[in-house]
Amino acid sequence: MIPTLLTMLPADDSTWITFDIPSLMQNFWSATFDGLTFGSIYALVALGYTLVYGVLNLINFAHSEVFIMGCYGVFFTLSYLGFGPSAPNLSVGAIIANLLLALVVAICASALTAFLLERLAYRPLRKRNAPRLVFLITAIGASFTIQYTIFAVRGPNPEPALTMFKSNPIFEVFGTFIYDQQLIIVIAAVIMMVITERFISKSRTGRGIRAVAQDPDTATLMGVNKEKIIITTFVIGGILAGAAALFYVMKIPSGVQYNGGFILGIKAFAAAVLGGIGNVRGALLGGLLLGLIGNYGQILLGNSQWTDVVAFLVLVLVLLVRPEGILGTSLGRSKA
Amino acid sequence: MSMVDGPTPLHTAKADQAAEDRGAVGTPPGSSAAARRSGWFGGLGEKWQALPRQKQWLFLILVVILAYLLPIINPPLISTEPGNDFPLACQTMAVWALVAVGLNIVIGYAGLLDLGYIAFFAVGSYVTAMLTSPDSTFLKIPYLWTIPVAMAVTMFFGVLLGVPTLRLRGDYLAIVTLGFGEIVRILATIIPALKGQVGFQNIGHPPGTDASGIPIFSNSNGTPWYWLTLTILIIVLLLAGNLERSRVGRNWIAIREDEDAAETMGVPTFKYKVWAFAIGAGVGGLSGALMSGQVGFVSNAKFDVVTSILFVAAVVLGGAGNKVGAILGGALVAYIPLRFTSIAEYKYLIFGLVLVVVMIYRSHGLLAARQQLLAYGQKAYAAVKASSDAKAAKAKTGPGKEAAS
Amino acid sequence: MYRKKVMTTLAAAATLGMLMAGCANQAAPESSSSAGGGGSTAVNIPALTSIETPKDAVLPAGDGKATCAATTTLAYIGAETGANAQLGINIFNGVQLAIDQHNKANAGCQVQFKKFDTEGDPNKATGPVTQATKEAGIIGVVGLPFSGESKATGNIFEQQKLVHITPAATNPTLTDNGWTTFFRGLGNDAVQGPAAAKFITGKLGAKKVYLVQDDSDYGIGLGKTTSDGLGSALIGTDKVTTGQKDFSATISKIMNSKADAVFYSGYYAEGAPFDQQLVAKGFTGTFIGPDGLKDDQFIKQAGDASSNAFFTCPCIPGELIPTFESAYKAANNMEPGTYSIEGYDAATVLLAGIDAGNQDRAKLLSWVKSYDKDGLSKHYKWNDKGELQAPTVYGYKVENGKIVPIGAIGE
Amino acid sequence: MTESTEETGRHAGIPGVDADVAEAAAAERDIAVKVGDDLIEVKNLTVKFGGLLALDNVSFTIKRGEILGLIGPNGAGKTTCFNAMTGVYKPTSGQVLLEGRVLNGLKQHKITRAGLARTFQNIRLFGEMTALENVVVGLDARHKTSVVGALLRLPRHVREEKSSIERGMALLEFVGIADQAATLSRHLPYGSQRRLEIARALATDPKVLCLDEPAAGFNPAEKEELMQLIRTVRDDGYTVLLIEHDMKLVMGVTDRIVVLEFGKKIADDVPSVIREDPKVVSAYLGEPEDDFA
C-alpha cells in the first residue's frame, strides 16, 4: 500500500529501489550462514521477551538493556583479563576458560539486571494492580533509564573492541566457508534453547511457569508461588540474554555501547512475535527467520535500510494473518 | 464555539480540575476517593471551584493574556537566555504542548500506546516542506494553506496505519507503531524525492515583512510564531474539550477503561479507535507543520524513535487523559533542556527516570485531573449535591439540634 | 533452583568449549590465502613525522599591541552535548586555545568567548543562533559544525550580517544559498571525493574498488563524488545504515567480488565494526575512509583490523604541528582531535581581524571576505561564495595503532 | 427533571418508584411484536470449543414482556449460551433471532443496538467515569452525533447531550442510586455497582435485557430488593433474560425457566412445574442420571 503511494511522489533521476537477483544467487549461502548466526542471537534474546510475556503479558521493553548489561559484563571481564584489540596467542584451554569466565560474568550481570528490574520497577506496579499501559510505559522508562545511565557513565562511544580469538574458516559448504565462530554460536544457542524448552516442559519450576502463564489465579490457588515464578522467569530470561551477549560480543566486538541493545531488542521482540509470543520454539524460528530475512534483504536490495522496513512489514503482515504468530502461543494462553 | 450554550464556556485547565473536584465532592464523606484523586495541586482545584463565575472568567482571561505576553515579559528566572533565545524557546514549548495534546487523545483518552507518534510529526513537516520549499519539485502553495493539507495528509496516514493495526491487541500496537515511526524516517532517507539528510531549505512562512524587509515570521523571530502556535493550541484545546464532553470522548474513555464492556454497551470500538488515531495524527501533523515552518528546514535528522518516546514522557508526566496536564508535560519536557543546558545531556536519563517514578508513585501524572465527559453534567451534579447536602442537613437537624455548619 | 539453571548453562558452555577446541585443532588455513580478497596490496607509504608549517603563518597572539573593547566577543555555536558532542568539543577547545593565546599576548584586548549548544540538531539550532545574533558584543562566530544545522540557520547570520566560519560542515550545497556571511574553513565533499579516488587508484594502486556508503548526507555525497572519480575501477557499491552493527551481507558481497580495496563513505561508528568484520572474514586488501573515519575511535573499535586502513581528510594533521599539539595538550589534557586545528585557525582569522581594528560585525565580515594569509594548517583565502580557494586533502594511515599522516594527496 | 430528583431523592426503596421516574426511565423504542409473542428465538444453538461441546443444539424462545430464567448447575453452559447470544462467541451452528432478524455474525455493538443488552457477572463498569457518565455511554448507543457534530457542537449534539442528562439521571433514580450520580463508579459500593450495571444496560434501550447473575454477592435483603427492581423493569416494558444461580431468586421472579445441563436443554416451563421436575431436581442434587431413570 505504502509503496504504491510513494510511486506517486515526483520522479527523481535515481531509482530508490532495485532488486539485485544475481547478487542474491551468488551470495545466497554465505548470507544464509551469517543470517543463521545472527538469527541465533536474536532467538536467545527473543526467549527473554517470550517468557516474560508468557507469564506477565508484558512486553518487557527493558529486556534489551538486560542484554546490553551482559555485553558490558563480557567487556569488563575481557578487559580485566587483559584482552586487547588483537587476539592473544592462547592455548585452547585458556581460551575456553576465559570464555567461560566471561559467560558467567555476563550471565550474572544480565540476570541481576533482570532481577532488579522486576523488583524495582514491575513489582510495585503488580502490587497495586496497575493497568497494562502503566506496565508498558514503566518498561519503556526503565529501558531509557538504564541506557542513559550507561551513557552518563561510559559516554556515547562504543567500548574499544576486544578480540577473544581469531575466527577461522573450518570447512567449506556450497563454496562458502563456515567459520568456527559461526558454528559455536549456532550450536551453543540451539543447545541452550533445547535446555530451556526441556526445563519449561519437564521441571517443577517449569510447570509452575506454565501454570502461571495459563491462569495466574488458579495457579496461586494450586499452591504455586506466583511471585517466585515471576522472578524466576525474569532471571531465566536474563541468563539467556547474558549468553546472547557473549556471542554478540564475539561476533561484533565493538557492539558494546549504551544504546547497542535497543534496535537488537526490538528485532528480537519482533522475532518472538513472529514465531508466536510465549512459544519457546517460536522464538527460535522467529529469530532465525528474521536473521535470514535481514541478510537476504540487504543483498537483494543492496541497502540495509530496507531490511528494517521489510522486517517490520513482514511482522505486521504475519500479525494480520495470524495474530498468534507462526507457531501460535503455547506457553500460556489460548485466549486471544 | 462553545461560547454559545455550554455551562463552562471556556474549557481549560482549571475547568477540568473543577470538574474533578465536583466529582469528588459527590462522594460520601469519609470515603478516600476525594483524597486519592486530588493531585499535588488538588487544593487549587477546590479553591477554583469556590470562586464565583465572573472571577473564574477573569482569571482565565488573565492566564491567556499572560501566556501571550510570555515572550515579551521574558521573566528573568524562567528565561532560557543567555543560552537560548526565549521567544523561540516559547515557540518550541508551544509546539511540544500541541504534540502532547494530540498524543494525549491517543494515549490518554483512547488508551492506545502509540510509540511512533513522531512519524505523524514527520509527515506533517514533510508535507509543509514539500509544498513550500524551493528544493522540492512539487507544486507550491502558500504556507498557511499547508497547515490544513498537512493535517489531512497525516490523518490519512493515521487511518492507513490504524485500520490494519488497531485490530491487534493493545501491546502489539506499541511495537507496530514503533516500527512505523522508524519506517517513515527510513523512507525519508531512501526515497530520493524526500531528500534524506540533505533536506528542504527555505520552507515557507506566513506573509508579511517588517520595515527592514525581513519576514515577520522569520525563523529567528520567535514571538509571532509563538503567538500563531499558541492561538492554534487554544483552538485545538477548545475543540478537544468539545470532543471530550461528547459521546466521542465518553466512548474513548470507555474503550480505555474496558474495551469489551464498551463494545457490549454499543460502542463501535474499532471505529472510535481509528478516529482517535486519526485525530491524534492530525494534531501531530499540525505541530510538525508549525515546527518546520519556524525552523525553515526539514531533514530526516531528528525524527527518531527516541524523540517519540520523549513525546510519550510528556503526556505521561502531565497526566495521561488530561489536556492541561499534557500542555504542562509537553512544555516542561521541551523547557528543561533549553533552560538547564548543563543537564541537557542527561535529559533522556531524567525523563526515563521520570517515566518510571511517575508510573510507580503517581500514575495519574502531575495534574491528577479527570476528564469532564458530559456537556451539561454540572447542573445535574449540582442538583445531586444540593439534595444530598439537604439530606445531610436534615439528618443532622433531625434530632432537634441546630446544626452548627 | 537457580543453581540448576546455572549448572545447565555451564554444561552448555562446556559443550561449546569442547566444540571450539575441536575447531581450533583443525589446522586452519592462513587467512591471507583462504578467502576472497585480491593480491596483497600492502603499499608501503612512509609516514610523515612533521609537516611544513608556513613560515609566516598568522598566529592568534599577533603583535601583542592590539586594543579592543571589553565587550568584544567571539562565539562558538554547535554541539556541546548529545551524541555528536565529541566533534564539538574538539572544535571549541581549538577556539578556546586560540583566544587564550591571543588574550595572553594582548593585555589591551581581552576577547571574550561564548559557547552555544545546538546538540547538532537543526530543530534546536535556531534558538541559540538567534540568541547569539541578538548579543551585540558577538562580532564573529566559529560554527556551525554540521551541514543540517548550518542550512537551518545560515539565513539568520545573513539577516544580522554576522560572519561565521564553519570548521566542519562539508556539504557542497551550503555555499549555494547566496549567503554572504558564510565561510567554510575546509574543503567540501566535492573536493575530497575526487582526491580520494585518485589516491586509491594511484598511490595505493588498487584495481578493483568496492564502495560502501552509509545513509548520511555526508556519506551519500562523498560516495557519489568518489565513485565518479573511481571510474572503471569501481566494481560494486552497497549501502549500510547508521547504527548498523552486523555487516555480514555486505561483506559476503565484497568477498565474492574479489575487490582489493574498499572505500567506506561514512563515519567511524559504522566504519570501524565494518572493517573489523571485513578483516575477520579474511579480507586482505586495503580499507580507505574519509575524514569521518579518521578518529582514534576507529582504531579502538576496529582493533587490529585497522592496520589495513587509510584515510583521506581535507584537514591538516594538527598533531604534527608541534607548537599547536603541545599547547593544545597542555590546555585540554588530550591530543587535538579531528577539526581542532580548523577551529583554532578559524578563530585566528577572526582574532587577527579584531587586532587589525575590525571591531564591529560589518568590518569583521569584510575583513574575512578579503582575507588572504597562511594559517597554521593551510592558506586561507575565500572565493565570493565562501569556499576556500585551494583546500588541500591529506592522506593518513594507521601505523602501530596510531593514525599518522602520509602527506598531501590528490594533487 | 432536577426538581423531580429532589422530590424523590430518597425513594431508595425499589417498591414504589415514582411514577414520573418510571415514565422518564421507560423505554422509547418500538417493538414489532405484541406482548406475549416471541421476541427472541434461539434456534438449535451449538457452540464448540476445540473438541469440547459447550452448547448442544439448544432452542428456546423469549416472549415479549416476560422474565425468563436461564438456570443450570455450574458448567451447564448458561454463560456460554449468553455469550453466543450477545455476540461474544460465534456459534458453531444455529441461530439467534430478534424479532425475526438474525443476530449471529453481527458485531457486538450492532447486536446491542439491535436491542439486546447485557450486564456482566463480574462487574465491568468504566471505573474512571462517574455513575452518570457510565449510564450516558449506554444512552450513546441510540445517539447519532458524529465526530464532526461533536467537534463543532452542532444542534443535534446539543439536543442529545441535554436529553441524555435527563434520561441518565432518571435511570439512576430508577435503579435507586441517583444520589451517587457524581461518584466515580469504582468508588461506588458493591450493591450500587450492580445497580449501575443494570442502569447502564437499560440505557441502551434494549428490547431484551440480559442479566448475568445480578445477585452474585448479595445478602438476602439485597436480593429481595433486586427482585423488586427486576419486576419493575419488566413492568416498565422491558423483556428480561435472567441467568441466575440462586434458585430462590429465580423461582421468585421469573415467569418461565429454561434449564440447561451439560450444554443441553433439559426443561422449559413455568417455575412451579420446574420446581417439581425430577430431571431438574436431579441435576441440582447431582444425582447420576441412570439412578434417576
Same domain, C211 and C325: no
Q: Which three cell numbers stand for residue D90?
A: 460465534
D224: containing domain: 36-115+206-287
B19 three-class SS: helix
Domain count for chain A, please give it: 1
A142 to B187: CB separation less than 8 angstroms, yes or no:
no
Residue C215 within a domain:
yes
**Measured between CB atoms, does C173 come within 8 Å of chain B?**
yes
Contact status, residue C218 vs residue C271, Cβ threshold 8 Å:
no
Which of A14, A144, A319 has the CB atom closest to B168's CB atom? A319
Q: Partners for A (CB, 8 Å, 3+ pairs)? A: B, C
C131 to B341: CB separation less than 8 angstroms, yes or no:
no
User: Which range among A159-173, C262-276, D1-15 has the greatest average pLDDT?
Assistant: C262-276
Which of C131, C152, C160 has the CB atom closest to B297's CB atom? C152
Domain count for chain C, please give it: 2
Q: Residue D234 sits in a domain of what CATH number?
A: 3.40.50.300
Residue D165 has pLDDT above 70, yes or no: yes
Higher-confidence position of B399 and A147: A147
Contact status, residue B283 vs residue B236, Cβ threshold 8 Å:
yes
Residue C60 within a domain:
no
Q: Report which DSSP code applies to D130.
A: B
Taking the C-alpha atoms of residue B377 and residue B299, their distance in angstroms, rounded to an integer, is 47
pLDDT for the residue numbered A112: 92
What structural domains does chain B harbor? Answer: 86-368 (1.10.3470)
Sheet with C112-117, strands from edge to edge, namely C112-117, C73-78, C138-142, C163-166, C182-184
Residue A39 within a domain:
yes
D221-231 in b/e burial notation, b at 16+ Cβ within 10 A? Answer: eebbbbbbbbb
In angstroms, the separation between the Cα of residue C116 and the nearest Cα of chain B is 6
C53 three-class SS: coil
pLDDT for the residue numbered C183: 94
Q: Residues near B395 by Cβ (< 8 Å), separated by ≥ 6?
A: none
Cα separations in angstroms, A198 against A187, A206, A252, C130: 16, 8, 30, 64
Taking the C-alpha atoms of residue C381 and residue C372, their distance in angstroms, rounded to an integer, is 5
pLDDT for the residue numbered B1: 36
Same domain, D76 and D220: yes
Higher-confidence position of D129 and B341: D129
Contact status, residue D233 vs residue D23, Cβ threshold 8 Å:
no
Same domain, C299 and C370: no
Question: What DSSP line would sit under B303-335, residue for residue?
Answer: --HHHHHHHHHHHHHH-TT-HHHHHHHHHHHHH
The stretch C141-152 carries a mean pLDDT of 89
Residue A161 within a domain:
no
Residue A2 within a domain:
no
Other C-beta atoms lying within 10 Å of the C-beta of residue B30:
7
Q: Residues near B365 by Cβ (< 8 Å), separated by ≥ 6?
A: B39, B316, B317, B318, B319, B320, B322, B325, B329, B358
pLDDT for the residue numbered A102: 87
User: Residue C328 — φ and ψ, nearest 5°?
Assistant: -60, -45
Residue D93 within a domain:
yes
Same domain, C79 and C184: yes
Q: Residue A220 sits in a domain of what CATH number?
A: 1.10.3470
Which of B192, B312, B346 has the CB atom closest to A137's CB atom? B312
Same domain, C196 and C206: yes
Same domain, C116 and C165: yes
Same domain, D71 and D185: no
pLDDT for the residue numbered A332: 45
Higher-confidence position of B202 and C20: B202
Residue D23 within a domain:
no
Instruction: Please report, to the nearest 10 degrees, the dihedral formed by the alpha carbons of residues A303, A305, A307, A309 taken in order.
Output: -130
Residue D81 has pLDDT above 60, yes or no: yes
Residue A114 has pLDDT above 50, yes or no: yes
User: Which range among A158-167, A203-212, C15-24, D92-101 has the greatest average pLDDT?
Assistant: D92-101
Question: What DSSP line would sit under A116-139, residue for residue?
Answer: HHIIIIIHHHHHTT--HHHHHHHH
Other C-beta atoms lying within 10 Å of the C-beta of residue B35:
10
pLDDT for the residue numbered B26: 35
Residue C142 has pLDDT above 90, yes or no: yes
Cα Rg, chain C, nearest whole Å:
24
Cα Rg, chain A, nearest whole Å:
21
- Where helices occur in B133-199 by DSSP H, the ranges are 143-165, 170-190
Give the model's confidence band at C277: pLDDT under 50 very low, under 70 low, under 90 confident, else very high.
confident
Among A15, A26, A27, the residue to mutate for chain C (most C Cβ within 10 A): A27
In angstroms, the separation between the Cα of residue B85 and the nearest Cα of chain C is 4
The stretch A172-182 carries a mean pLDDT of 78
Taking the C-alpha atoms of residue B182 and residue B184, their distance in angstroms, rounded to an integer, is 6
Which amino acid appears at position B314 of this protein? A
Residue A11 has pLDDT above 60, yes or no: no
Residue A63 within a domain:
yes
Closest CA to A84 of C306, C86, C405: C306
pLDDT single digits (tens) A226-278: 888 888 889 999 999 999 999 998 888 878 888 888 888 888 888 888 888 87
Give the end of a domain, one of D205, D230, D256.
D205
Lowest-pLDDT choice from B282-296, B355-369, C287-301, D268-282: B355-369
D-C interface (Cβ pairs under 8 Å ≥ 3): no
The stretch A191-195 carries a mean pLDDT of 88
Same domain, D109 and D214: yes
Sheet with D101-102, strands from edge to edge, namely D52-63, D38-49, D93-98, D101-102
Same domain, C283 and C400: yes
Domain count for chain D, please give it: 2
Residue D18 within a domain:
no
Sheet with C286-289, strands from edge to edge, namely C234-239, C209-213, C261-265, C286-289, C309-313, C393-399, C402-409
Cα separations in angstroms, D211 against B19, D67, D82, D96, D245: 33, 10, 9, 17, 12
Among C126, C162, C170, the residue to mutate for chain B (most B Cβ within 10 A): C126
In angstroms, the separation between the Cα of residue D50 and the nearest Cα of chain B is 22
Q: Residue C99 sits in a domain of what CATH number?
A: 3.40.50.2300
Higher-confidence position of B345 and A15: B345
Detail the DSSP E strand segments found in chain D. 38-49, 52-63, 67-71, 93-98, 101-102, 116-118, 208-212, 239-243, 256-261, 264-269
Q: Residues near A198 by Cβ (< 8 Å), separated by ≥ 6?
A: none
Give the model's confidence band at C40: pLDDT under 50 very low, under 70 low, under 90 confident, else very high.
very low
Contact status, residue D130 vs residue D178, Cβ threshold 8 Å:
no
Q: What residue of C is the nearest CA neighbor of A249?
A: C245
D residues 40-69 lying closer than 8 A (beta carbon) to B: none
C367: containing domain: 73-188+318-377
Residue D170 has pLDDT above 70, yes or no: yes
Higher-confidence position of B53 and A334: B53
Residue C237 within a domain:
yes
Ranges of residues in chain B with a pLDDT under 50 are: 1-39, 400-405
The pTM of the full predicted model, rounded to 2 decimals, is: 0.85
In angstroms, the separation between the Cα of residue C93 and the nearest Cα of chain B is 17
pLDDT for the residue numbered B156: 95
Q: What residue of A is the nearest CA neighbor of B256?
A: A133
Which of B107, B186, B363 has the CB atom closest to A305's CB atom? B186
Burial of B85 (0-12, 13-18, 19+ CB in 10 A): buried
The stretch D14-34 carries a mean pLDDT of 63
Give the end of a domain, one of D171, D205, D239.
D205
Taking the C-alpha atoms of residue D223 and residue D231, their distance in angstroms, rounded to an integer, is 12
Taking the C-alpha atoms of residue C276 and residue C303, their distance in angstroms, rounded to an integer, is 7
Contact status, residue C74 vs residue C347, Cβ threshold 8 Å:
yes
Which helix (H) or strand (E) is A171 found in, with range? strand A169-173
Same domain, C259 and C327: no
pLDDT for the residue numbered B236: 95
pLDDT for the residue numbered B231: 95
Same domain, C172 and C269: no
Same domain, C208 and C162: no
Same domain, D138 and D95: no
Residue D210 within a domain:
yes
pLDDT for the residue numbered D125: 92
Contact status, residue B294 vs residue B96, Cβ threshold 8 Å:
no
pLDDT for the residue numbered B127: 93
Other C-beta atoms lying within 10 Å of the C-beta of residue B47:
12
Closest CA to D285 of D107, D76, D73: D73
The stretch A40-51 carries a mean pLDDT of 90
pLDDT for the residue numbered D12: 40
ipTM of this complex:
0.83
Residue D28 within a domain:
no
pLDDT for the residue numbered C123: 84
**Measured between CB atoms, does B146 come within 8 Å of chain A?**
no
pLDDT for the residue numbered B370: 67
Q: Which residues does residue C114 pair with via DSSP β-bridges, in sequence order?
A: C75
Residue D5 within a domain:
no
Q: Which three cell numbers stand for residue C105?
A: 599576548
Give the model's confidence band at A159: pLDDT under 50 very low, under 70 low, under 90 confident, else very high.
confident
Residue C121 within a domain:
yes
In angstroms, the separation between the Cα of residue B193 and the nearest Cα of chain A is 6
Which helix (H) or strand (E) is C287 found in, with range? strand C286-289
C15 to A191: CB separation less than 8 angstroms, yes or no:
yes
Residue C12 within a domain:
no
Same domain, D266 and D256: yes
Which of B115, B172, B320 has the CB atom closest to A273's CB atom? B172
Q: What is the mean pLDDT of chain A?
A: 81
Q: What residue of B is the nearest CA neighbor of A131?
A: B257
A69: containing domain: 26-154+174-321
User: Residue A17 — φ and ψ, nearest 5°?
Assistant: -145, 130
The stretch C33-58 carries a mean pLDDT of 59
Cα separations in angstroms, A302 against B25, C293, D238, D247: 65, 22, 68, 73
Residue D3 within a domain:
no
Taking the C-alpha atoms of residue B311 and residue B100, their distance in angstroms, rounded to an integer, is 6
